[in-house]
Amino acid sequence: MSNEQSADREVLFQPLQIRAMHLRNRIVMSPMTRGFCPGGVPTDAVATYYRRRAEGGAGLIVTEGVAVDHPAALGDAGLGENNIPTLNDPAAIEGWRKVVEAVHAHGGKIVPQLWHQGVMRKPGTGPNPDVPSVSPSGIWGPLGRMTSIAPGSIPADPEIGAPMSESDIEDAIAAFVRSAINAVEAGFDGIALHGGHGYLIDNFLWEGTNLRDDRWGGSRAKRSEFPAEIVRRIRAAIGEDFPIFFRFSQWKQQDFRATLADTPEELGEVLRPLAQAGVDVFDASVRYYNRAGFEGDPACLAGVARRVTGKLSMAVGGVGINQGMYDRDKAAAVVSDFTPLIDRFAAGEFDLVAVGRAMIGDPQWAHKFRAGEVIEPYRIENDGILS
């Protein structure tokens, strides 16, 4: 690698202050479900797994999805998840405290991604199989769309139950708040909310699953009220020092071609209520970060999110590998030309870069990227081990 190329990469190693969180660089480990937490409790192996990514240079780690303290938060979500972590009891909090301490010992910061599966939870599964799955309007979403869900997990009838009542909604909001409080007790540096991919928060945001005509549905701004209330309540509970990250996506597991917004203006209608509620960073989850977010606008989705909210944004999706999420029967091609990433970052489109499967494949990804060294490829076998 030439000295000029090395200097270009240094732009991603500038520090960043987000409230009380000081990041040494802009490289983030993206949240990815692993499922190595029996009974919801992170083990020593989980602590080692996250420690190695901090040791490898990642400035921030966003954990895999952590099920919130709600009886319908967790089950089989169509991808065979088991042993999902929680923050619901002293054992889980203590397990996460060990993870946090391991990451901090190597200069990294870490936030948990709080997660409720919503309609993606298959009824009759999880630790509370008798509890019905919940969604704003009691529907799974439109059937017959392009989806990542195994056929056996797609309901024959899109109506999965009754719409959530006001007390149901309050219970779900309170569950997110309890888990955020427990995260602070465990020593985490902030909070991340999973608001994409067809899970509960996204069920409120997306018109395909939210048919309500009360304060929780209707316009884009009203469909944002549920996550906005979660953010407000978390902010009130944990104080002003802790950053709040919010993941959103256009696509849904129920429908890869779904959209929350068809123009930048419409995206602003979705995200601005969340920014006003207290979100600090928007995590724009797409398949390929470098593609334009909207027709006629060259900015990527993270860039548009930054522009319409005035908040920090994080790019994710194909940063480190050239391979679709569901085309994984061989080693993924490692990205070798980072010019688009560096150019878009230098132009101010986004503030953080999240690396997913590439960092599972090589814990030293951040250090090797900076030095221009050969990066080990991600392979499907990596999913079955924690290393």
Identify the structural domains of the chain with CATH numbers, from first to last: 3-384 (3.20.20.70)
Q: What is the reported pLDDT for 146? A: 72
Sign of CA dihedral 235, 236, 238, 240: positive
Across the strands, what pairs with 191? 244
Q: What are phi and psi of 191, to 5 degrees?
A: -135, 140
Q: If DSSP codes are grouped into helix, strand and coil, which group holds residue 86?
A: strand
Burial class of residue 171, CB neighbours in 10 A (0-12, 13-18, 19+): middle
Q: Where are the alpha helices (DSSP H) in the chain?
A: 3-9, 44-55, 90-104, 166-186, 200-205, 220-223, 225-238, 264-277, 301-309, 339-346, 357-361, 365-371
Dig out the tokens for 1 from the structure: 């690698």
Across the strands, what pairs with 22? 17
Q: If DSSP codes are grouped into helix, strand and coil, which group holds residue 376?
A: coil
Give every residue of the chain whose pLDDT is below 70, as ranges: 1-7, 78-81, 144, 148-153, 156, 322-333
Residues with Cβ within 8 Å of 55's Cβ and at least 6 positions away in sequence, in order, are: 106, 363
Q: How large a percentage of the chain has pLDDT more than 90?
A: 82
Do 355 and 327 meet the contact criterion of CB atoms below 8 Å apart?
A: no
| Confidence (pTM) | 0.95
301 vs 287: CA distance, rounded Å: 11
Q: What is the reported pLDDT for 293? A: 98
239 vs 345: CA distance, rounded Å: 30
Find tokens 């997660």 and name the residue. Answer: 115
Q: What is the reported pLDDT for 380? A: 86
Q: What is the reported pLDDT for 368? A: 97
Dig out the tokens for 183 from the structure: 């995260």
Q: What is the reported pLDDT for 143? A: 83
The long-range contacts involving 338-341, CB below 8 angstroms and separated by at least 24 positions, are 338/9, 338/369, 339/8, 340/290, 341/12, 341/289, 341/290, 341/315
